Amino acid sequence: MAIEIDLVALRQAQGDKRKPPWLKVSLPSGDDYERVKAKVASLSLHTVCREAACPNLAECWGAGTATIMILGDVCTRGCRFCNVKTGNPRGHVDWLEPVRVADAVRDLGWKYLVLTAVDRDDLADGGALIFANTVRAIHERVPGARVEILSGDYRGDLAALDVVMDAGPDVFAHNLETVRRLQSTVRDKRASYEQSLRVLTHAKKRAPERYTKTSIMVGFGETEAEVEEAMNDARTAGVDIFTIGQYLQPSKKHLPVTEFVTPEKFDRLGALAKSKGFHQVVSSPLSRSSYHAEQAFPG
């Protein structure tokens, strides 16, 4: 797959005249950005930065960081907010991918990596084993590096989740994505709010000393009371880190944006989340699950 960013789509998304000024972002450029792009391309890796058309790509790649997406670039699910391709990978797994990811972490000097994956419902374990192998490969090749994994739900298979947790990720993240009422509108029918909460609860119980994390997007038509309910449910599940960001419509075939939430409202929601006792809260229009993830470990 070509690693070049789809600049036409990116410009189209960024040039939407309906967007308020706080959502305008720069196109990617600069030496550090080019270095990351070249390394990712040379090792045949995918990044969620590109595949999901993340608005923070310029900032993060320019700073020399990225979120690596393993298990290919074709997802078996079709969530209505997501820009990643949907299809059937037919069981294909590149078992050498963990080594290439670890090499990228080593060669780029990263000390904190966010590792995510497409949903792989075509695999018996949902991709759990290769997730675990990648975490272990990074820890072996880059001692001291921290690994955060942004995981799927493995169709609720907690034994598969245990395979991942036993590899020792420093942070386990799994996203609720939206409030309870809007789950069936926003997410694929194979996902659910309750299933995601079970996954988060089990991950915390399996490794209580490690951070767990979840994220939601706003702008789908949710109420503040529903957002607070999601915060409360996350805390009950033992979640340590809570992220809130603005939903941005990747293309006309995706769900439309109902509301562009103001920075002031994000500040208010962030303060509310902090009052719940989360270890870290990230709440801003351009926040994404992995945005400023390393700040969970100050110093």
Per-residue pLDDT, averaged over 95-99, amounts to: 95
| DSSP bridge pairs for 270 | none
Residue 54 scores a pLDDT above 60: no
Output the CATH code of domain 7-293.
3.20.20.70
Looking at residue 193, its amino acid is Y
More confidently predicted of 276 and 3: 276
Record the pTM.
0.86
* 51: confidence class by pLDDT, cuts 50, 70, 90: very low
Mean pLDDT for the stretch of residues 157-161: 98
pLDDT per position as a tens digit, 238-286: 999 999 999 999 889 999 999 999 999 999 999 999 999 999 999 999 8
Domain map (residue ranges) of the chain = 7-293
State how far the Cα of 131 lies from the Cα of 293, in Å rounded to an integer: 19
Mean pLDDT on 39-53: 60
Would you state the pLDDT for residue 253?
92
What integer pLDDT is reported at residue 16 of this predicted model?
A: 52
Q: Read off the pLDDT band of 38 (50, 70, 90).
A: confident
Q: Which of 70-74, 110-114, 202-206 has the lowest mean pLDDT?
A: 110-114
Q: Is the pLDDT of residue 87 over 50?
A: yes
The Cα–Cα gap between 7 and 159 comes to 41
pLDDT at position 83? 86
Q: What is the mean pLDDT of residues 116-137?
A: 96
Quick check: 172 pLDDT over 60?
A: yes
